[in-house]
Structure 1
Amino acid sequence: MEVEKALIIKKNQLVEDTDESLSVATSNCPLFIQTRGYDDVCVSEEEKDFPIAYSLVVHKYAWMVERLIKAIYSPANIYCIHYDEKSPAPFKSAIKSLASCLPNVFIASKIEYVYYASFNRVQADLNCFSDLLRSEVKWKYLINLCGQDFPLRTNIELVSELKELNGTNMLETIRPNKYKKQRFTHNYELVGKSVLKKQLARKKKKSPPPHGIEIFVGSAYFVLSQDFIVYMNSSAVVKDFLKWSEDTFSPDEHIWATLVRIPGVPGEVPRSHPDITDLVSKTRLVKWFGYEPHLYPPCSGIHIHEVCIYSLGELRWLLNYGHWFANKFDPNMDPIPIQCLEEKLEERRKLFGC
């Protein structure tokens, strides 16, 4: 019955939130903070002692970005936002205005033009890494997100589960199949640096990875310890590997999965360790068209680029699967699961006395 009601609401009452309206709302910071409840966030001693850093690479839906930050917000944490330089001006203005209202949210000091499957997607995260390492906040773990992610856990729950990792990293890291190997065995270059034309064209075969590094593949998203990020920032081996990866296809889908497998890195996943798939890692719950309905129930929303855009029908599955974040949500396609998750997270916070 509730799903039926939701479908009627979605059909008859869907109103799109504009980027400009967020700029208006954040033009009066005290009122915005009070209205959205940023001044009334309960923080336990455990959360104060275990700050989390976030790198958010975003390009559209300013209000969705705000709702994501509100859902994971804690005054103890630190948030770096990297917007795509080629995003529309109203979006960029809204994100800057949002960051100006919250003392622990800031815009990356260096902004990239982000193109699909190219290295500048990695560079956007790297820019936030550098800024976060310079922060006075002594964060313990770094989590990267995009603007269409949403949490399935409250901050206190995330802190509790991060503590259980005990310094290890959590992400997808598997051995590549023949198809994935093509992405890093040939050189690729960006063709046409415009918003409309951003395809990558194969040129020639690449040299093998430096330092005998064995390539693993996975997701662009991760949970990495501060010790690992510090190591990355100072390691010549990592710098050489990043340089080597610049002309590969979708390097964000092999860089992190490979780096955590390098022997001796902080929080290492041994090369001998079995594959860690996206369903085993709790980092990000994504529903791929090709695996429906074998690994999970069919998508009740729509598919874009073979990824399910969640609808209300996924809500029970999302909450019960055990992951920390889910992707993808689209407020213009179906805002109701986002609102339901917001309410569910608020219920969970009350269970912890907040």
Structure 2
Amino acid sequence: MPQALHQPAAANERASQIPQPKRREQGFTVKQGSEFEREFPLAYSLVVHKNADLVERLLRAIYMPHNVYCIHYDLKSSDDFKSAMQGLARCLPNVFIASKLERVQYAGISRLKADLNCLSDLLESEVKWKYAINLCGQDFPVSDLKMLKGKNMVETRQPDDSRHNTLGSMFVRPRLTIKRGINCSAIYDMEPVEVEKSLGVRKSYVGPSDKNIVNAASDCDRFVVSEGFNVKQGSEFEHEFPLAYSLVVHKNADLVERLLRAIYMPHNVYCIHYDLKSSDDFKSAMQGLARCLPNVFIASKLERVQYAGISRLKADLNCLSDLLESEVKWKYVINLCGQDFPLRTNAELVSDLKMLKGKNMVESKRPGGKKKRWTFSHSLKNDQSEDNEYPVSTSQEKPPPPHSIEMFVGSAYFTLSRKFVLFVQWSSLVRDFLVWSEDTYSPDEHFWATLVRVPGVPGEVLRSDPDITELHCKTRLVKWSYLEENLYPPCTGKHVRSVCVYGVGELRWLLNYGHWFANKVDPNVDPILIECLEEKLLEKRLMSFTVKSFY
């Protein structure tokens, strides 16, 4: 049995020989935990073989003095690595080296034995831990355990089932970066070997189906824990500035769930509008998300969304109306689609939004050649009263906009203040403008751009002010094929309707450009990019938390 477990006094004596400032410098001495945590101690089996710095950072991230930690290092590891692990065990009284060590072979029984050796030692510990978790040197914490209520969290599926596990087992989305040994920091630095490795994943990627998400969300306790929704808390700074989201989506429930998880905070509020034309599995998946998360709901009125038609705008308006009824007194609302992804943490976003001081973040430009979108009436249905694929121009000339409104164009996507949304909800001018816009082409691309320029509206942009282009509007970062090389580097993913669906080559550019959300992402185009964005956002959240905890 490890000496540290049976001779705590001796272990403390050895730890005390290490200069206290060194341990304080790493933050181990400030970890205490609440009474709630101390009543639920945990055990960890760390099976590691290289990169002592990363192992130390992992240990620091999960460390609590009331927990217990077993380190198993590979007998094939370097002498320096072994010494580093022994040093960690020497310095921390509740950390020990496994009493039996293995020469670990890839995919061999020795890897399993390494964990079993640690589990055996952990059972001998004086710490009466509730759960044991095994980790490798490239893991990092994102979730907690009390909501499992005694259940185990283990990935399990039939041997011939290559799909993601469904009902009856914990939903686990494989991390391709870990499975394929891909380093996101190296991709961020554009190291050719790592980028090349990531490209090889694209052809073989098969993501979870909508049915997988339906089944996973059928057990809310497990789902909330496995996907990490339960650990999102936020700082007082964030709690004082709640946000609202309108998610207008129609397919790929897995990607919607990942987007929701990336932006989720329990003090915010989220409205999901799914297309009435969506598949039954997709609808059920969205309903499952709303059932499992108390601050997520389905819009009370749903539309059959037509490309470039008024229904797309109405979907957002339906959510905005519902969000105003929420008990959450949100400060700003942001609308997203299913292929958006955040480039900033919630705290960073709140910091930026506070600097707006009540103004809106909306693209708004002079219309130029887009005037034809509302010069003539557009038909939404064909002669058989069936919806057209998109609005079709007719020869019938439209009257000018009501109330002598001056027209501007921009994007369907917005960041709006609560005061502005209240104006939209109750203004007769807005109601008249909406009716007038019903037979125009892509009204969502002129509605918001025009309204923010109406004199006297909350957060007004003067009509005489310069154009607010997509480069100035931080809400979305979109890369158009016809502007590549001139305004930004070429797309490394693929183009859909002239828009770049991003690849890993954009990772650094996306995170450094300064915008809030990327459009578009798609795991079927590049699954590694999304994993790396998730990882980089998690790193920033953990870094912020660590700094606050230390001070």
CA offsets per residue over residues 300-337 of structure 1, 9 Å max, x none? 11111111111111111111110000100111121111
Tell me, yes or no, if structure 1 residue 61 matches structure 2 residue 252: yes
Give the distance between the partners of 2:196 and 2:533, measured in 1 at CA: 18
Given candidates 259, 264, 277, the residue that maps to 2:451 is 259
- Structure number with greater CO (CA < 8 Å, separation at least 6) is 1
Match in the other structure for 1:311: 503
Given candidates 207, 222, 231, the residue that maps to 1:40 is 231
Match in the other structure for 1:191: 381
Quickly say closer, same or farther: Cα 1:194–1:308, change in 2 above 3 A.
farther
Give the AA of the match of 1:177. Answer: G
Match in the other structure for 1:297: 489
Give the distance between the partners of 1:201 and 1:24, measured in 2 at CA: 40
Give the distance between the partners of 2:526 and 2:505, measured in 1 at CA: 11
Q: Which runs of 4+ in 1 moved over 3 A?
A: 192-195
Give the AA of the match of 1:23. Answer: V
Q: Give TM-score scaled by structure 2 length.
A: 0.63
Tell me, yes or no, if structure 1 residue 148 matches structure 2 residue 339: yes
Match in the other structure for 1:104: 295
Give the distance between the partners of 2:459 and 2:391, measured in 1 at CA: 33
Given candidates 250, 258, 276, the residue that maps to 2:468 is 276
Match in the other structure for 1:236: 428
Given candidates 402, 405, 408, the residue that maps to 1:213 is 405
Give the distance between the partners of 2:351 and 2:426, measured in 1 at CA: 29
5+ residue gaps, structure 2, are: 1-192, 547-551
CA offsets per residue over residues 248-307 of structure 1, 9 Å max, x none? 000000000000000000011111110000011101000001111111111111111111
Give the AA of the match of 1:65. Answer: V
Match in the other structure for 2:545: 353
| Percent identity between the two aligned chains | 61
Corresponding pairs, count: 351
Give the distance between the partners of 1:5 and 1:91, measured in 2 at CA: 32
- Cα displacement (A) at 1:171: 1.2
Q: Give TM-score scaled by structure 1 length.
A: 0.97
Give the distance between the partners of 1:237 and 1:174, measured in 2 at CA: 21
User: SS at 1:333's partner residue?
Assistant: coil
Give the distance between the partners of 1:11 and 1:249, measured in 2 at CA: 37
Tell me, yes or no, if structure 1 residue 330 matches structure 2 residue 527: no
- Cα displacement (A) at 1:67: 0.4
User: SS at 2:378's partner residue?
Assistant: strand
User: SS at 1:57's partner residue?
Assistant: strand
- Cα displacement (A) at 1:194: 5.8
- Cα displacement (A) at 1:160: 0.7
Give the AA of the match of 1:41. Answer: K
- Whether the 8 Å contact between 2:202 and 2:524 is mirrored in structure 1 is no
Give the AA of the match of 2:374. Answer: F
Give the distance between the partners of 1:97 and 1:121, measured in 2 at CA: 23
Rg (Cα) greater in structure: 2
RMSD: 1.1
Give the AA of the match of 1:187. Answer: S
Tell me, yes or no, if structure 1 residue 201 matches structure 2 residue 368: no
Given candidates 283, 293, 296, the residue that maps to 1:92 is 283
Aligned ranges 1:107-146 → 2 under 5 Å: 107-146=298-337
Give the distance between the partners of 2:510 and 2:386, measured in 1 at CA: 36
User: SS at 2:363's partner residue?
Assistant: strand
- Whether the 8 Å contact between 2:309 and 2:390 is mirrored in structure 1 is no
User: SS at 1:329's partner residue?
Assistant: coil
